[in-house]
Amino acid sequence: MTDKRCTALVTGAGGFIGGNLVAALRSRGHERIRAVDCKPFAEWYQRFDDVQNLSLDLNLLDNCETAADGAADIYNLAANMGGMGFIEHNKALCMLSVLINTHMLQAALKCGAQRFFYSSSACVYNGDKQTTFEAPSLKEEDAYPALAEDGYGWEKLFSERMCRHFREDFGLYTRVARFHNVYGPWGTWYGGREKAPAAICRKVAETPRGGTIQIWGDGKQTRSFLYIDECVEATLRLTRSEFRGPVNIGSEEMIALNKLAQLVAEVAGKKVNIVNVPGPVGVRGRNSDNALIKRELGWKPSLTLREGIKATYEWISAQVSQLRAAS
């Protein structure tokens, strides 16, 4: 295991997963953490005074080298991304994230990093395997033959291959995880980049008892959702493991979007009416198969969806109340 006195670099640290990862490293006693994001500090979800915080555009190679200088472990979570609405309407912007991972790999190699973690996505999986509501759980080999989510998914799949070839050709220690719909507190909950759990929590928090919320599509599309703390734990285990191949980090608890909205309303103690409207929906069914990560890392989620949604709703409801009070 890397000495906790060595520098750990987290890119995308001003975002949801990156910010929670920095918080976890601090809580585990890491003494030297470098947090990097392109956003101004005021827009970071979490920022800590005892961490070296840098605002850098990692599309640029020079900035990647500045970020990687002296770092032993690199967690590359920086990307242009968001929920389904953002992904479907910003395909070129999402694909430009390939610059970040390419330059971060080059910088990691040049600066002598010991470990390099890359956050991929379930959007890399073949769309033909996700055409029904009760789609079978996705195994790691189901990414090929390749038919990834247009834009965002193709960039992630290409970047996975980059990590593999940097390991094979240059000996760089790389690890790749395919995240499945991570949610929880301290993340995007409004503005167009939020994902389904956060968007639904916000809508329910903003809606009076007996009010109406909208869900894109027919609401029968299914997904599994992983609570942020579980994601961070699995990420840290994978980064320090001997397992090389891409691996799912997700939950096997699949749910339809309308039922997710009902669950949020129950947690909130509200009765709401759900109206389905046209909008981006993505694939019909997607669920994580966790057999590989259970076998290789001994990891599986411990929190139920209801428990995670309760914690998430409480945080988002507080944000909604604060915003109302401020305005």
**pLDDT tens track for 49-82:** 999 999 999 999 999 999 999 999 999 999 988 7
Burial of 273 (0-12, 13-18, 19+ CB in 10 A): exposed
Question: Structurally, how many domains does the chain consist of?
Answer: 1
Domain assignment present for 254: no
Four-point Cα dihedral 42, 48, 49, 54, nearest 10:
-60
Report d(CA 84, CA 197) in Å as an integer.
12
pLDDT (tens digit per residue) in 145-158: 999 999 999 999 99
Domain assignment present for 70: yes
Is residue 261 within 8 A of residue 215, CB to CB? The reply is yes
Domain assignment present for 264: no
Domain assignment present for 282: no
CATH number at residue 170: 3.40.50.720
Domain of 81 in residue numbering reads as 7-179+227-249
Report d(CA 193, CA 214) in Å as an integer.
17
Residue (of 110, 119, 111, 95) closest to 246 by Cα position: 119
Residue 1 has pLDDT above 50, yes or no: no
φ/ψ bin of 144: left (φ > 0), alpha (ψ from -120 to 50), beta (otherwise) = beta
Alpha carbon 312 to its chain centroid, in Å, reads 15
Domain assignment present for 168: yes
Domain assignment present for 207: no
Residue 267 has pLDDT above 70, yes or no: yes
Is residue 88 within 8 A of residue 144, CB to CB? The reply is no
Domain assignment present for 312: no
Active-site annotation, residues: 152
Domain assignment present for 156: yes
pLDDT (tens digit per residue) in 190-231: 998 899 999 999 999 999 988 999 999 999 999 999 999 999
What pLDDT score was predicted for residue 66?
A: 98
Is residue 223 within 8 A of residue 181, CB to CB? The reply is yes
Widest Cα–Cα separation across the chain: 60
Phi, psi of 91 (to 5 degrees): -65, -45
Kindly report the average pLDDT of the chain as a whole number.
95
Report d(CA 225, CA 318) in Å as an integer.
22
Residue 2 has pLDDT above 70, yes or no: no
